Amino acid sequence: MRIGEVADKAGVSVRALRYYEEQELLPADRSSGGQRHYPDTAVGRVRLIQQLYAAGLPSRVVRDVLPCVDSGEAHPALLGQLESERARIDQRITDLLDVRDRLDDVIAITRDPDAECSPMQ
């Protein structure tokens, strides 16, 4: 697939794909004219990269994780790092749920001033 097609199907910019290639996250073959060509799996890989970034993982960790996704194997040190990242994400989820609950309280009290709001913590 050409770069524009991958970008359209994955819902990202061409610039993002170039960045992923620069960070060694998304390999591309080059034609004799220098055009990038990606495998059919590139769209799924781009979506995974985006999810990992959205979870707060830095490029170097994403770079280490992607071969594990491909092979199904990981070095024990990487597993420890991934478990730490998972714990961080779990804490972030807990924090976001707390914020959502507080927003629910604000919405409820705004709609019905007689409703009780949970005390601020």
Instruction: Specify the DSSP class assigned to residue 2.
Output: B
Question: What value does the mean pLDDT take over residues 38-57?
Answer: 94
Q: How many other CB atoms are there within 10 angstroms of residue 60's CB atom?
A: 10
Q: How far apart are the first and last CA of the chain?
A: 52
Question: What value does the mean pLDDT take over residues 67-88?
Answer: 90
Alpha carbon 23 to its chain centroid, in Å, reads 15
What digits encode the pLDDT tens for the residues 5-35? Answer: 999 999 999 999 999 999 999 999 998 998 9
Assessment of whether the complete model's pTM goes beyond 0.75: yes
2: closest CA among 32, 40, 59? 40
pLDDT confidence of residue 118: 59
